[in-house]
Amino acid sequence: MKKISTGNKAVAEAVKQVKPAVVAAYPITPQTEIVEQIAEFVSTGELKSRYIPVESEHSAMAACIGASITGVRTFTATSSHGLLYMHEMTNWAAGARLPVVMANVNRSIGPGWNIWAEHTDAMQERDTGWLQVYVSTVQEAYDTTLMAFRIAEHSDVLLPVMVNLDGFSLSHIMQPLDTVETGDFIPPIYLPHAIDPKNPAGYGGLTGPDQHFKFRWDIERSMRDSVKVIEATENDFAQRFGRKYGFTEDYLCEDADVVIVSMGTLGKEAEVAIDMLRKEGVKAGSMRLRWLRPFPKLNLKGKDVVVIDRDYSFGCGGILATSIRAQQKTDVYSVIAGLGGQEVTYEDIANFIRTRRIGEEFWFGVNDHV
């Protein structure tokens, strides 16, 4: 079915079709529409789900953990400080190997108080064991949410998945949406270590030094195994529904001398910049990174690399730029731009490429190179 939708409502539409048994909800700007729309689906009977309004984001994740450990499908959504408040529980969800799916509407962290887009909130969760994917359009938000459940619940993964969409510039934007009939695309959930309330048992919660590291390795093993699961899921989605995704979305990269790497909506803006530069005779390309965890193997050998980070690790640098430097064993031109919803146009992005200084870091909006 074709319609016009916001990014938030597209996520809610996908959740309705997947039919989670439990949705835990604490509304926070700007993801509020996601859980509000799901609440409406539940109240009208379109979605038969246990909808739990909770008193905090910490409780929202705790409720999902409690439900998921019984072997049922769960969902929640959050943003910014709400995600930070969940932090204790996001570690528990991954460590307990629970396939919770959560939409996170990326927003800046205060102070100063700011409600606009930035990736710092999700970046602070990148080492918890959650898979993370960043989307750029309303359609991609819908499609990726559908796929997130299948990926999280796969027996080779059994890890939570966070679907990230930029606050306001995607969560509230109106774009075309083509929904699908999922059929058997998402199989029934099966959690091999589920607790059965009808057969209660005791569990030892303490793991000593001779065992704990094995749990950590098991998360890493599954993160590595998730690569093939993601590829298989996205390939099956493309065959069934005609829309193809990958770990990156590459635009005119094959013959490019310089590639700009970014995430989220800035990645789509970059494609316009590339078209402009191509007309000027500059062989430029855009690589939009979709999956941050697991971090993909990128093909950037022999190219100048410009990286836009909508985040920053103080005392270290742009997080995406740092990751690419480490993987590629090469230096990049690191641009810090878009923090707190700072406007970054395709003309700005084209200029980042024109004036690149490989090995340097540049804060957009600050008059000099740092």
Strand partners, 3: 177
Domain-ending residue, one of 241, 270, 287: 241
Q: Residue 368's pLDDT is what?
A: 59
Domain contains 71: yes
Same domain for 235 and 262, yes or no, is no
pTM, 2 dp:
0.97
Closest CA to 159 of 167, 150, 146: 150
Domain contains 282: yes
Same domain for 22 and 99, yes or no, is yes
* Region for residue 131 given its phi and psi (left: phi exceeds 0; alpha: psi -120 to 50; beta: otherwise): beta
Same domain for 236 and 255, yes or no, is no
211 contact partners, CB below 8 Å, separation of at least 6? none
For 186, other C-beta atoms within 10 Å of its C-beta total: 19
Same domain for 58 and 189, yes or no, is yes
| Residue 196 structural domain | 2-241
Same domain for 29 and 161, yes or no, is yes
Q: Residue 367's pLDDT is what?
A: 65
Q: Residue 182's pLDDT is what?
A: 97
Same domain for 212 and 269, yes or no, is no
User: What confidence tens digit (pLDDT) does each residue in 18-32 have?
Assistant: 999 999 999 999 999
Q: Residue 291's pLDDT is what?
A: 98
Q: How far apart are CA 68 and CA 74, in angstroms?
A: 6
Same domain for 233 and 279, yes or no, is no
Same domain for 212 and 320, yes or no, is no
How many domains would you assign to the chain? 2
Structure-token pair, residue 271 = 């494609």
* E runs forming strands in 135-191: 161-166, 174-178
- Tens digits of pLDDT across the chain (370 residues): 999 999 999 999 999 999 999 999 999 999 999 999 999 999 999 999 999 999 999 999 999 999 999 999 999 999 999 999 999 999 999 999 999 999 999 999 999 999 999 999 999 999 999 999 999 999 999 999 999 999 999 999 999 999 999 999 999 999 999 999 999 999 999 999 999 888 888 777 789 999 999 999 999 999 999 999 999 999 999 999 999 999 999 999 999 999 999 999 999 999 999 999 999 999 999 999 999 999 999 999 999 999 999 999 999 999 999 999 999 999 999 999 999 999 999 999 999 999 999 999 999 999 655 4
**Residue found under tokens 């799901």:** 38
The domain that contains 293 carries what CATH number?
3.40.50.920
Strand partners, 163: 103, 133
Helices (H), the chain: 7-18, 32-44, 57-68, 81-85, 87-95, 120-123, 138-153, 212-241, 265-279, 319-328, 346-354
* Region for residue 359 given its phi and psi (left: phi exceeds 0; alpha: psi -120 to 50; beta: otherwise): left
Same domain for 118 and 50, yes or no, is yes
User: What confidence tens digit (pLDDT) does each residue in 236-247 have?
Assistant: 999 999 999 999
Same domain for 230 and 95, yes or no, is yes
User: What confidence tens digit (pLDDT) does each residue in 263-306 have?
Assistant: 999 999 999 999 999 999 999 999 999 999 999 999 999 999 99
Helices 346-354, 265-279: axis angle to 10 degrees equals: 60
Domain contains 295: yes
Q: Residue 370's pLDDT is what?
A: 45
Helix (H) or strand (E) holding 78: strand 74-78
Domain-ending residue, one of 186, 218, 241: 241
Same domain for 144 and 280, yes or no, is no
- Whether residue 133 contacts residue 291, with contact meaning beta carbons closer than 8 Å, is answered with yes
User: Phi and psi (nearest 5°) for 171?
Assistant: -60, -35
